[in-house]
Structure 1
Amino acid sequence: MAIYDSIGATYAGTRRPDPRIAARIHQALGDAATVINVGAGTGSYEPPHTLSAVEPSSVMIAQRPAGSAPALEAFAESIPLADDSADAVMALLTVHHWSDLEAGIGELLRIARRRIVVLTFDPDINHKFWLLEEYLPEAAAFGDERAVAVDRLAGLLGGARIETVTVPHDCTDGFLAAFWRRPEAYLDPEVRAGISLFAQTGEEVLRPGLARLSDDLSSGRWHRRHADLLDREALDAGYRLLVADL
């Protein structure tokens, strides 16, 4: 069973595409006339010319908006599409979920004619995010087991341009570091349910760290410790866009 069959039920509500991140992704896709979205989830960031989406979770597929590109219920490691199916293939915040990274990247290379765009995270930076480092190290340890080094990923793609994607302070897409300047959001169980790392780690493991965060917010300790964040517009939390031309 795909992991998002169990953790993705509220995903469409908390993971709304952020227009600034969308602009970066669409710029990276360039002039591709046709696009395939692999690990597509609910269809976030798909451009209008998306030809097909590949997603293993029926729960996620059911949340795709009306009029979205047709979705194939399949895993990245075995995509039921012909070679050179589209000008470009995109895979956004998905590679760390794949059971066989090499097989999945091989499939992207097989179905893309001209370009592959991957949004991922650098674990060396991402796992030093204040929430993980100070409050939820157990989640960071769990994430380390799945994390993919950016250099390794670029190598598997045959070389790729690596771009930094900063997270705006009011990001509308509720992924892990989206609320870096809005820490109270992490106390909301619905927000946490839309973040795969937390949903997979489990509430029982997270509870002590979240209690410490709640106390630190109530006392003002968090705001004193992270005063340097409060006036920032964006943060580099390790998210990276890899663009590989074939």
Structure 2
Amino acid sequence: MALYDTLGTTYGLTRRPDPRIAAQIHAALGDAADVINIGAGTGSYEPPHTVLAVEPSRVMLAQRPPGSAPAVCAVAERLPLRDDAADAVLALLTVHHWTGLAAGIGELRRVARRRVVVLTWDQPVFRERFWLVREYLPQAAAFDDARAVAIGRLAELLGGVRQQPVRVPHDCTDGFGAAFWRRPHAYLDPRVRAGISLFAQAGEEAVAPGLARLAEDLASGRWHADHADLLGLDSIDVGYRLLVAEA
């Protein structure tokens, strides 16, 4: 069973693409005439010229909206595609789930005629800058250390990349890990946590004590006092990175 067969059951409710992040991703694709989306999930951020989506979870595929690009159930490490199948290949917040990183990146390079675009995060930066994992979820942060893919390793496998920081808006509509950095109460909602792999994979036992402390700090006003510097910011950089490699 694919991970997102369980994690992805409510994904469409909390993981709606943010238009500002979408604009940055689409700009990184440049003038690509056709795009293949790997680890496509429900189709977030797919540009209109996507010709194929590849996703291992049938639960996620079932949530793709009408009119989405054709989709196939397959894994990144073994793409059922010919060489040079599309101008650009897209892989968004997916590489940390792959069982064979080198094989998966090799496949992306094989099917891309011109460009590979990968959205991931820089774990040391994420750990340092994101208050939730730094202060409340050290055990989950340790889990993230094990699954995160180093930017340098990705750059090596991709044959060199251009890096772009992806800032997270304070009202981000896509409920990924750090999306609620200025809306801390959201992390107490199990429906929100259900769409964030950090919570689902770390397990309730690892995150429950930290969430209980967060609830106490929100009730007492301590969180707002400690993080008053965040409350006036429109966006922050907590380590999400867009990597662009030319094929």
Common topology (TM > 0.5): yes
Q: Which runs of 5+ in 2 are unaligned?
A: none
The count of aligned residue pairs is: 246
Deviations 1:104-158 (A, max 9, x none): 0000000000000000000011122110111011111111111111111011100
Distance in 1 of aligned mates of 2:162 and 2:48: 24
- Mapped partners of 2:149, 2:143: distance in 1: 13
Q: What CA deviation, in whole Å up to 9, does each residue of 1:61-119 have, x standing for no partner?
A: 00000110111100100010111110000000000111110000000000000000000
2:243 is aligned with 1:230: no
Other structure's SS at 2:96 match: helix
Find the counterpart in structure 1 of residue 137 from structure 2.
Answer: 136
- Residue of structure 2 in register with 1:211 after alignment: 212
Show the counterpart of 1:106: 106
CA distance in 2, matches of 1:165, 1:94: 16
Helix, strand or coil at the partner of 1:243:
strand
Amino acid in structure 1 at the alignment position of 2:75: F
Distance in 1 (CA, whole Å) between partners of 2:8 and 2:205 is: 19
1:6 deviation in Å? 1.2
| 2:188 matches 1:187 | yes
Q: Deviations over 1:179-200 (max 9, x none)?
A: 0000000000000000011011
Determine the structure 2 residue equivalent to 1:84: 84
Partner of 1:146: 147
Secondary structure, aligned partner of 1:127 = helix
Amino acid at match of 2:220: S
Structure 1 stretches lacking a partner, 5+ long: none
> Normalized against structure 2, the TM-score is what?
0.98
More helix by share: 2
For 1:66, the aligned partner's letter is: P
TM-score, reference length from structure 1 = 0.99
Q: Kindly provide the CA deviation profile for residues 30-87 of structure 1, in whole angstroms up to 9, marking residues without a partner as x.
A: 0001000000000000001100000000010000001101111001000101111100
What amino acid is the match of 2:65? Answer: P
Residue 17 of structure 1 corresponds to 17
Q: Residues of 1 paired with 2:162 and 2:215: CA distance? A: 40
Q: Deviations over 1:163-187 (max 9, x none)?
A: 1010000000000000000000000
The residue that corresponds to 2:55 in the other structure is: 55
Once the 2 structures are TM-superposed, how far is the Cα of residue 205 of structure 1 from its aligned partner? 2.1
Q: Which whole-Å CA distance do the structure 1 matches of 2:13 and 2:215 have between them?
A: 24
Q: Percent identity?
A: 72
Runs of 4+ with >6 A deviation? none
Partner amino acid for 2:139?
E
Quick one: which amino acid aligns to residue 60 of structure 1? M
- Give the Cα–Cα distance (whole angstroms) in 1 for the partners of residues 134 and 12 of structure 2: 28
Distance 1:201 1:189 in 2: 14
Distance 1:29 1:206 in 2: 37
* Aligned-residue RMSD, C-alpha: 0.6
The corresponding residue for 2:199 is 198
